[in-house]
Structure 1
Amino acid sequence: MLQQPIFEDEPSSQIWLQGSSLEADSNILVSLTSAGEVRSVFISNQGVQEIVAAQLVDAAPEPQGVATQQKYVRVKKVMSFSGYALAISLMVFAGLSFTGNVKARIVLTGSMAPAISTGDVIVTMPITRKAPQVDDVIAYQAKRFNGENVAVFSHRIIGGDIENGFIVKGDANKSPDPQKPKADDILGVVFFVIPFIGNLLTPKALFLLVPSFFGIWLILDAMRNVE
């Protein structure tokens, strides 16, 4: 007869086991309920140990394919949310662009690195809505000395004023631009930069992206149909 307290904090709780000893692989789980509280002990040839009974209960295995289906559902939700967010953003941007409130341009050189890199997209606002100031980055129409248009530059204002012309300079350039853009030359003030996305809008990148998106769609469709 083996007599031993069940719980160390309650010496009066006793357990009796009939027999001289337990087999080497014998295990007993005892659960007691009192006033809505459940306490359990695990009895083995190593002694008595209080445990949480749920720790010894194995969860039922998931049916084959359930985990894959759940992953697909999560991926689908993320992609759906991303798609809706992108669609709404494009609609808002299209509306603002149509009204002339904002314009987007792809940066083709690294003259403004590291603040703005090649392939970034800058979003500008007309000077009628945002007055250019020193330290702002502006997009302006660069011209030759004979007045012929050359290209659109996006450089930072480091001095001057809108009446006499701003002194502008690329952050990565050693000297200011020879032209001092005035109000008629300024196409907008940069207020937002989208990194890298311009690299995906070239014909070569689009040629690679379209098949990639189609491939992703096929993979997701295959995951959805897993039995």
Structure 2
Amino acid sequence: MTRSVIASLGRGLAWGAFGLVALIAALVLVVPVAAGGERYTILGGSMDPAIPLGSLVVVQPREFDEVRVGDVVTFQLESGKSPVATHRVVGEGRAGDGERVLVTQGDANDAADLEPVRAPQLRGVLLYSIPLLGWMNVLISGELRAWVLPLASGALLVYAIWMFVSAWRDRIRRQGEVRTRLEAPEQGADARLG
């Protein structure tokens, strides 16, 4: 392979990697905000294999009455407290006071959850999940997220500009080489004239 083919292949791979990182960033940062959603990390295996341990889940708020059997929901284990679970709705019923409740169960669990989910506990319905990306959500949180995300975004922008300028410079160089070859007299032509 020639140098230009290798360089083109390298640029293509670099742009592909840049595109993949940009897509992941959009899925993790932009879409949840645009959809009014929240991000959570799956810290247990109760939803295997559909949502494996370490997945990032994005849930979108929904009215409690709109949740249906089969939906995957994230809910507070105790109303008003922060620990949450993400399980599938396997049934519905009525509490003693007539309030609608949801019966949930993790896909990998043999039995339904002991306590039904009430309206105030619902955090949202699953919009999408991305395997393994939840670990990044855990590692980069709080104050660290406040400077890592802008720094990473800036680095990606600088890299994209560098890739663009490099491709532009190489294109101009190749055009100059072609022009030089077209303008240069053939070596054999001078010898025949003399």
**TM > 0.5 fold call:** yes
Aligned residue in 1 for 2:85: 153
CA contact (8 A) 2:64 2:119 kept: no
- TM, length-normalised to structure 1: 0.52
Higher strand share: 1
Distance between the aligned counterparts of 1:199 and 1:90, measured in 2? Answer: 12
CA contact (8 A) 1:159 1:166 kept: yes
Distance between the aligned counterparts of 2:48 and 2:31, measured in 1? Answer: 25
- Report the AA paired with residue 107 of structure 2: D
Residue segments in structure 1 that go unaligned for 5+ positions in a row: 1-61
SS at 2:69's partner residue?
coil
Q: Does 1:116 align with 2:48?
A: no
Q: CA deviation at 1:81?
A: 3.2
Aligned residue in 1 for 2:11: 73
CA contact (8 A) 2:42 2:52 kept: yes
Aligned residue in 2 for 1:51: none
Distance between the aligned counterparts of 2:114 and 2:73, measured in 1? Answer: 15
SS at 2:66's partner residue?
coil
- Report the AA paired with residue 153 of structure 1: A
Larger Rg belongs to:
1
Aligned residue in 1 for 2:148: none
SS at 1:198's partner residue?
helix
Q: Per the alignment, do residues 153 and 83 of structure 1 end up closer, same or farther by CA in structure 2, a change over 3 Å counting?
A: closer
CA contact (8 A) 2:56 2:137 kept: no
SS at 1:165's partner residue?
strand
* Superposition pairs of residues 48-67 of structure 1, within 5 angstroms: 65-67=3-5
Greater RCO (Cα-Cα under 8 Å, separation 6 or more): 2
SS at 2:116's partner residue?
coil
Aligned residue in 1 for 2:61: 126
- Report the AA paired with residue 126 of structure 2: V
CA contact (8 A) 2:55 2:129 kept: yes
Q: Per the alignment, do residues 187 and 88 of structure 1 end up closer, same or farther by CA in structure 2, a change over 3 Å counting?
A: closer
Q: CA deviation at 1:79?
A: 3.2
Identity %: 23
Q: CA deviation at 1:90?
A: 5.3
SS at 2:109's partner residue?
coil
* Superposition pairs of residues 20-39 of structure 1, within 5 angstroms: none
Higher helix share: 2
Aligned residue in 2 for 1:96: 34
Q: Which moved more, 1:151-160 or 1:70-79?
A: 70-79
Q: Per the alignment, do residues 150 and 174 of structure 1 end up closer, same or farther by CA in structure 2, a change over 3 Å counting?
A: farther
Number of residues of Structure 1 aligned to a counterpart in Structure 2: 147
Q: CA deviation at 1:110?
A: 0.3
Distance between the aligned counterparts of 1:185 and 1:105, measured in 2? Answer: 15
Residue segments in structure 2 that go unaligned for 5+ positions in a row: 145-151, 167-194
CA contact (8 A) 1:123 1:190 kept: yes
CA contact (8 A) 1:138 1:190 kept: yes
Aligned residue in 1 for 2:135: 199
Aligned residue in 1 for 2:170: none
Q: Does 1:188 align with 2:124?
A: yes
Correspondence for 1:176 among 101, 106, 112 = 112
CA RMSD of aligned residues (A): 3.7
- Report the AA paired with residue 46 of structure 2: S
How big is each residue's C-alpha offset from its partner over 1:107-158, in whole Å with a ceiling of 9 and x where there is no partner?
0000111111101111111123992101111111112xxx673620111111
- Report the AA paired with residue 81 of structure 2: N
Q: CA deviation at 1:172?
A: 1.3
